Structure 1
């Protein structure tokens, strides 16, 4: 079954959440809460997924401008996203590989590969580069 994109539904979501360039910490926090709410849901609609991608991009742009770029690491970003979705390492086995591999990545004993970063990016609906050292 192919899901189709409903532009009217997406327009309604845009109207409801009113995404815009983030100008201050309060706005950033509001959009972070919306992102966490969307991430906690199962089976996002294509419209919700598109909204999520837009909000994540707006947050990334704000944080890249207002925070130290090197303040976080691929490891800390992964832990933050896991925490936001209440995930345990075992929940990532199908995405990353074996439980041993997941454990080593979560414990900063192993770097995330490009292939794993792409899988994590798709799973968390974020840019895969978040999981890679530049």
Structure 2
């Protein structure tokens, strides 16, 4: 019996989930699907500058799992850019960070909490 898949912790969903050439019509065989956990690995390592170890800790998986997720995501991005395919972000085994958690999973969650606190303070002052 195969080992059950572990959900990866993800800060938030992307603001846009479809990327690619503007002038192309959506043809089913020209769409590359990137999972949300692959998007999160790219975001954490390439945008936030985390190491594989730090990313693995944030996503609550093994470093080797993050390495595999990251490599698959980079291949999908490359295929999309080089071949002009649409890149769609959806699906995967993930769990969103909980906003009411005392320990937020990444800087983006922390920034969201700080923004929420400051806006709550501003509302109370008015």
TM-score bin, normalised by smaller chain: 0.3 to 0.5
Choose 1 or 2 for highest CA Rg: 2
- Scaled by the length of structure 2, what TM-score is found? 0.32
Normalized per residue, the structure richer in helix is: 1
Normalized per residue, the structure richer in strand is: 2
